[in-house]
Amino acid sequence: MNQNLPQDLDRESLNQLSKEELVKIIIEQGKGICELQKTILELQQEVEGLKVSRDLDSSTSSKPPSGDILKKSENKKASLDGESNHPKRKPGGQPGHQGKTRKGFGRVDRYEILRPEDCVHCGQKAFATVAVKIEKQSVAQLVERPI
């Protein structure tokens, strides 16, 4: 717009202007309004184009799935909210599945009972008569030339 025009267009300042100056102000404002309307139209078209490209993903266009990062994360969050937090299967062996275990040794040569001589924490030599914890352990001894 014209820089020569008064910046404050209040009633008093407009009453002091001549008819020609008022017409000049109206024409300048009309030009400014036309420019702003063109800018608004261009921006609306750009927004519409961006909305269309935003809605495109690998299922609705020829884009590769690697470009769907934002869209997929939104879908995953929505689907997780609808489902319960419990998985379909419990961890561990499933019903009906035949498990596999290690086979033990054919025969036992000897049994050894191991008792500590002193406590590793406090150094005491006296222990309770009843065992607190019992552990069994299989040990295989490999000899150079078995009989």
Model confidence over 111-132: pLDDT tens digits?
887 777 888 888 888 877 787 7
The predicted structure's pLDDT at residue 73: 52
Query: Model confidence over 34-56: pLDDT tens digits?
Result: 999 999 999 999 999 888 877 77
| DSSP state for residue 7 in the 8-state scheme | S
Contact call for residues 1 and 32 (beta carbons, < 8 A): yes
Degrees to nearest 5, angle at CA 127 with 123 and 129: 175
CA distance linking residue 36 with residue 116, whole number of Å: 92
